Structure 1
Amino acid sequence: MTTSERPMIELVELTKTFPGQRKPAVDKLSMSIERGEIVVFVGPSGCGKTTSMELINRLIEPSSGHIIIDGEDVTNGDPDELRRRIGYVIQETGLLPHRTIAQNIGTVPKLLGWDKARISARVDELLGMVGMDPQVYRDRYPKELSGGQRQRVGVARAMAADPPVMLMDEPFGAIDPITRDRLQNEFLRLQAEIQKTIIFVTHDIDEAIKMGDRIAVLREQSHIAQFDTPEKILSEPADDYVADFIGAGASLKRLNLSRIRDVEMTTDTPTGLLSEETAALRQRLLESDWTAMLLLDEQRRPRRWVTIGDLRREGRSLDTVGLPAHAVVEGHSTLADALNELIESNGGVAVVVDAKGAYQGIVDLETIMVAVRAMREEHSAFYLAQKQQPEDAAR
């Protein structure tokens, strides 16, 4: 088997029994995780999902079983050496408060003996990658950052030595819902570039559906109730335990399976630049079928929604009339993100932008409804095909 064909992580009957306990906290957990995929461990509190993840980088030593990383059995090797090969992100980030952001990110490279110039270049690269200007943030301390910024630094630190494997323990759990959505989307965008193999722990099934290529729904003692794609788990839960854990609203949860880039956006929305003459903007809007126009700045970033009435206000700067274009999403965001933004928007639409914030198109409620109908029809066709197979075999 070639390197590209073998799994990046293999767990073979991994077991942990803590002293004084009769039952294992993790009981014979076995699974294979492919290169570049995100596998989410999800389940109720106390089921063993965090313990299972901590066994993988041997923060907790296993009682029995094997951990195989990239074909190498690391169960009994040097745990410190193992941890330098695995990025680790936790809920509270674990940043050292007395060290600068640059020093925090450079912790593992320094332990690996990198020279100062190489560490500095890597710090700047990673800060830029997670959307933080190195000139602004590298010399700050964790207490000077918001919760969302600290979480980004935690992700950057985990990637510092370019590890092939990352472990993420509820990394966005302690952040407000709006910031959490944005960080999830940023991370998915980043993962499309870096293609790490990731184990992600959460108790939130909606987050699991959004983030995971595959999901392991765990029972007590990390027994696997179902290990499959989000689509399969939503459409065909293995048993009542999985169905109950998914809960109501499976159709709405499917919105987390579709990315905005995969649906047909509306691109005929009248747009203009804040720097243009008002008369030209007014004429363009009158010639369209729309009642409002989206104004962009010189970088084509959405700024204001304006109507004909707004454009007739003499002596008013265009960046003060109309309503702010707040409902903005990127192409890798989910339809659930778009729906949330749309509900809170000024114009009843979500504005789609690229990674640099430049306007791409809009998504409205009709776009989302069409996507939901398509998913429903696809599931119905799949279900009928599955049902037909045994009938054909019986003939």
Structure 2
Amino acid sequence: MTQTEPLQAPPAAKRTMIQLEGLTKTFPGTKKPAVDNLSLEIPEGEIVILVGSSGCGKTTTMKMINRIIEPSGGRIILEGEDVTKADPDELRRRIGYVIQQIGLFPHMTIEQNIATVPKLLGWDKKRISDRIDELLETVSMDPALYRRRYPKELSGGQQQRVGVARALSGDPDVMLMDEPFGAIDPITRERLQNEFLRLQADVKKTIVFVTHDIDEAIKMGDRIAILQEGANIAQYATPEEILTNPANDFVADFIGSGASLKRLNLSRVRDIELSQWPTVSVEATPDEALEVIRRSEESSVLVLDKNNRPVRWVGATDIQRRGERNLLQLGAPTTATVHMHSTLNDALNEMITASHSVAIVVTNDGTYQGIVDIDRINESIRAMRSATRTRMRGSLKHSSEPDDE
């Protein structure tokens, strides 16, 4: 089935960074095209997710953008320039690329891996060295510890961070990411997703991100293109619009059940008012901590170190059994921490298994900000439902009004 709809532009008017016009790919020996006349506009500075089941053409589409796979037809417009016939090597130097298998060169050190594209671009040694340090710090890896290590000496999560750093090394305007977190365990994957969203808030690259996971798409994407066979677009919209107003049965089935919970990936911890928990300094005495508990409605305090970072949960019963011990010898270490850029779904996942049924919110350097509890989650869900009902009523009212003559 050939896609005949006109060019699908994103809903907001932004400068278009990538424009695909009638993009087609038919592999030798096959009758049906893997990508069939795809037209799509990708706005500057956003993460656009290509999501769909296996074989729908999403990875083929992405690889045609930097011409790892050559298109059979159509055009690729990058920043207003038709790059369909340009030198593919020059094109790839303008585009960062991160893949699931990471693809680091095993015989090269971390600094050599990151320096690959800057060297091809002719950067001088000092500029390259400064860029390596800058990028390793950006992905939360100490340059002094990691520059001269080899990929085999790193964990999977660390290797993926280096893969992102290498993709950013030439400071490209565009990045392609092919299931970059798919081969990592769920806990590390969630942390890397959050780290990348924090990074994107600063660098604002234009990113085409391929995944088969609708939950990841909702969490990571500014726009989502849900693709059917042949890379035919079932719906191209914001995550919120897709969740609240799926275009057809295919999209609704692909999203699956639990839309309300999925929508928790649309809201960030920074977007809600945090609750507070009684806290004491690590230098407080057990008796002082007990007095704070007695004046509060809780049965424990959160102990903060000298840098205002949470370190222990200490309950009244812990203190009453203390003997002569100090607060660092009482209670239990803090767990279930989330950052301001974490999603409410992240917070909910943490608090489900937490000893106090709350998620502790910290900044990037670990400074305590407050807590998220189930009441805040419920308030957010109610607010999202109310906003959806208001929009739907507005849409129905607008559609029922007669057209101007």
TM-score, normalisation: structure 1: 0.97
User: Distance between the aligned counterparts of 2:157 and 2:14, measured in 1?
Assistant: 36
Aligned residue in 1 for 2:315? 307
- Is 1:29 the counterpart of 2:38? The answer is yes
Aligned residue in 1 for 2:297? 289
- Is 1:265 the counterpart of 2:269? The answer is no
Aligned residue in 1 for 2:332? 323
The 8 Å contact of residues 284 and 327 in structure 2, kept in 1 or not, is answered as no
CA RMSD of aligned residues (A): 1.4
- Is 1:248 the counterpart of 2:257? The answer is yes
Letter in 2 for 1:180: R
Provide runs of 4+ in structure 1 moved above 3 Å: none
Question: Which secondary structure state, in structure 1, belongs to the residue aligned with residue 328 of structure 2?
Answer: coil
Question: Which secondary structure state, in structure 2, belongs to the residue aligned with residue 8 of structure 1?
Answer: strand
**How far has the Cα of 1:394 moved from its partner?**
7.4
User: Distance between the aligned counterparts of 1:39 and 1:23, measured in 2?
Assistant: 26
Question: Which secondary structure state, in structure 1, belongs to the residue aligned with residue 107 of structure 2?
Answer: coil
Cα deviation digits, residues 161-209 of structure 1 (max 9, x gap): 1000000000000011111111100100000000000000000000000
- Is 1:38 the counterpart of 2:47? The answer is yes
- Is 1:63 the counterpart of 2:63? The answer is no
The 8 Å contact of residues 324 and 346 in structure 1, kept in 2 or not, is answered as no
Cα deviation digits, residues 65-103 of structure 1 (max 9, x gap): 111111111110110000000000000110011111111
Aligned residue pairs, count: 391
Aligned residue in 2 for 1:96? 105
Aligned residue in 1 for 2:381? 372
Cα deviation digits, residues 35-60 of structure 1 (max 9, x gap): 10000000000000000000000000
- Is 1:239 the counterpart of 2:248? The answer is yes
The 8 Å contact of residues 105 and 113 in structure 2, kept in 1 or not, is answered as yes
Letter in 1 for 2:120: L
User: Distance between the aligned counterparts of 2:25 and 2:239, measured in 1?
Assistant: 28
The 8 Å contact of residues 323 and 346 in structure 1, kept in 2 or not, is answered as no
User: Distance between the aligned counterparts of 1:36 and 1:112, measured in 2?
Assistant: 23
Aligned residue in 2 for 1:391? 400
Cα deviation digits, residues 256-301 of structure 1 (max 9, x gap): 011111111102x111222333332222222222211111122222
Equivalent residue runs for 1:328-339 within 5 Å: 328-339=337-348
Cα deviation digits, residues 102-122 of structure 1 (max 9, x gap): 111111001111122111110
Structure 1: stretches of 5+ with no match in the other structure: none
Letter in 2 for 1:303: V
The 8 Å contact of residues 6 and 71 in structure 1, kept in 2 or not, is answered as no
Aligned residue in 1 for 2:226? 217
Aligned residue in 1 for 2:3? none
Question: Which secondary structure state, in structure 2, belongs to the residue aligned with residue 372 of structure 1?
Answer: helix
User: Distance between the aligned counterparts of 2:275 and 2:291, measured in 1?
Assistant: 21
Letter in 2 for 1:300: N
Structure 2: stretches of 5+ with no match in the other structure: 1-12
Equivalent residue runs for 1:269-280 within 5 Å: 269-280=277-288
TM-score, normalisation: structure 2: 0.94
Aligned residue in 2 for 1:87? 96
Question: Which secondary structure state, in structure 1, belongs to the residue aligned with residue 16 of structure 2?
Answer: coil
User: Distance between the aligned counterparts of 1:385 and 1:74, measured in 2?
Assistant: 42
- Is 1:136 the counterpart of 2:145? The answer is yes
User: Distance between the aligned counterparts of 1:227 and 1:388, measured in 2?
Assistant: 24
Aligned residue in 2 for 1:110? 119
Identity of matched residues, %: 61
User: Distance between the aligned counterparts of 2:207 and 2:185, measured in 1?
Assistant: 23
Equivalent residue runs for 1:171-210 within 5 Å: 171-210=180-219
**How far has the Cα of 1:330 moved from its partner?**
0.5
User: Distance between the aligned counterparts of 1:5 and 1:293, measured in 2?
Assistant: 48
